[in-house]
């Protein structure tokens, strides 16, 4: 099975990243600056961390050919349209640290390090965005946008204040190791995670034997929540000696699966991330460890391998793949100037539609493995929802 070598570049990996300016030209116009020194900080979903970095700072191929210039690189005296760089705060590896700087709206910086890690996952990112200590009449906010692979949480998100801008589609399936992708039914997957089936030999056609090692992403992960709710039907059995379960695997990263367990492992994985990591064209780090994303009830969320990998856009868009889901940037309209500035970058607002939502970055969405939305009735390419 072909796999790409590890590569590094301007796309952030699992480490924290404050995005710097580059010299590539901008690919899209944006709403005008309000002249306020502003730092827009993102936390949350691992699934769209790479896309966020590409959108903000630009996207290049492995030969450093520019594909998209990025929000920060508008080619004028005041980069970033808010007279500052846009900072993307990602999750940290042990020993690394980063601070969200003081600016016109963040009066006391947040410092994330190995003892105070940033919110890791969609749920954790949204909770931090909406927390009372992240706002004070819009003057002390340091977190402006939550990356989310989960949709509006009615009853949890603040009613009338949580604003979700959906900009793309993804799909979640299971992944396994072997010589080819497996096809399982929902019933089979749920039987495995509920420990009604504990050995691969009981799954006809799997070509596998041995005690099944189940994996779930880390707490706070939107991929975890979606996989449990949609693929597993809301239930799974706890870890036991006869039915192992590891709930610490970082989402979309199979490198944490011990080599001894790979032949019997079963885990959740984003189809978009699997494609992006496999293709490897845009400085992607391959964290698949050679796994295959699985087919559910005969419908594949992605096809191919290595450079030929591609998401099954038609099945994701029409919902024929059961694990189809939306991807969102979330903002909080209680943050005043922070909200307005963040909406210029990721949403629909009174000053104009962001490049994300006017269709100018649809090709970047595709390059990063996801499916852009079709043009909506209002002419934009985002769907905005205010939680009621």
How far is it, in rounded angstroms, from Cα 58 to Cα 51? 10
Listing DSSP states for 318-346 in one string gives HS-STTEEEEEEEEEGGGTHHHHHHHHHH
Local confidence band at 40 (pLDDT 50, 70, 90 cut-offs): confident
CA angle in degrees (0–180, nearest 5) for 246-249-255: 115
Residues in a beta bridge with 225: none
**pLDDT confidence of residue 36:** 55
- Select the more confidently predicted residue: 37 or 81: 37
- Interstrand relation of 245-249 and 213-217 (parallel, antiparallel or unpaired): parallel
pLDDT at 149 over 50: yes
Listing DSSP states for 97-157 in one string gives -EEEPP-SS-SS-EEEBTTBPPPBSHHHHHHHHHSGGG-STTSS----EEEESS---TTTS
Local confidence band at 324 (pLDDT 50, 70, 90 cut-offs): very high
Local confidence band at 37 (pLDDT 50, 70, 90 cut-offs): low
Tens digit of each residue's pLDDT (9 = 90 or more) over 194-236? 999 999 999 999 999 999 999 999 999 999 999 999 999 999 9
**pLDDT confidence of residue 351:** 65
Running DSSP on this structure, what letter comes out for residue 218?
Answer: P
Q: Which residues contact 161 (CB under 8 A, 6 or more apart)?
A: 130, 332, 333, 334, 386, 387
Beta carbons of 338 and 138 less than 8 angstroms apart = yes
pLDDT at 91 over 60: yes
CA 100 to chain CA centroid, Å, is 20
Q: What is the mean pLDDT of the chain?
A: 85
pTM of the model: 0.88
How far is it, in rounded angstroms, from Cα 226 to Cα 245? 17
**pLDDT confidence of residue 110:** 79
Domains of the chain from N-terminus onward: 42-169+326-386 (no CATH), 172-324 (3.40.190.10)
What are phi and psi for residue 178, nearest 5 degrees? 155, -160
Q: Which residues contact 196 (CB under 8 A, 6 or more apart)?
A: none
């Amino acid at each position: 099975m072909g796999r790409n070598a590890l590569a590094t570049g301007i796309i952030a990996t699992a480490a924290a990243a404050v995005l710097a300016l580059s010299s590539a030209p901008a690919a899209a116009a944006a709403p005008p600056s309000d002249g306020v020194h502003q730092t827009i900080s993102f936390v949350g979903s691992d699934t769209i961390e790479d896309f966020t970095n590409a959108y903000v700072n630009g996207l290049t191929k492995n030969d450093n050919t520019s594909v998209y210039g990025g929000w920060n690189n508008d080619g004028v005296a005041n980069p970033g349209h808010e007279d500052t760089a846009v900072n993307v705060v990602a999750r940290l590896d042990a020993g690394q640290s980063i601070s969200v700087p003081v600016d016109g709206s963040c009066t006391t910086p947040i410092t994330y390090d190995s003892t105070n890690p940033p919110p890791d996952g969609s749920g954790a990112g949204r909770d931090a965005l909406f927390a009372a200590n992240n706002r004070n009449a819009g003057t002390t906010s340091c977190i402006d946008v939550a990356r989310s692979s989960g949709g509006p949480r009615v009853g949890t998100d603040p009613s009338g204040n949580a604003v979700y801008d959906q900009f793309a589609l993804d799909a979640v399936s299971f992944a396994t190791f072997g010589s080819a992708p497996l096809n399982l039914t929902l019933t089979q997957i749920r039987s495995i995670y509920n420990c009604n089936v504990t050995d691969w030999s009981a799954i006809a056609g799997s070509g596998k034997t041995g005690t099944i090692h189940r994996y779930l992403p880390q707490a706070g992960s939107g991929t975890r929540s979606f996989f449990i709710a949609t693929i597993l039907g809301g239930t799974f059995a706890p870890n036991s000696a006869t039915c192992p379960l590891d709930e610490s695997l970082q989402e979309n990263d199979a490198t944490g699966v011990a080599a001894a367990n790979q032949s019997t492992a079963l885990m959740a994985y984003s189809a978009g991330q699997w494609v992006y990591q496999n293709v490897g064209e845009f400085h992607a780090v391959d964290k698949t460890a050679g796994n295959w994303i699985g087919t559910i009830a005969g419908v594949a969320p992605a096809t191919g391998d290595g450079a030929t990998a591609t998401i099954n856009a038609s099945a994701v868009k029409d919902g024929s793949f059961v694990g189809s889901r939306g991807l969102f940037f979330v903002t909080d309209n209680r943050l005043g100037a922070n909200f307005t500035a963040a909406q210029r970058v990721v949403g629909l607002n009174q000053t104009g539609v962001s490049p994300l939502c006017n269709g100018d970055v649809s090709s970047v969405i595709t390059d990063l493995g996801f499916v852009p939305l079709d043009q909506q009735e209002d002419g934009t390419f985002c769907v905005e929802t205010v939680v009621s």
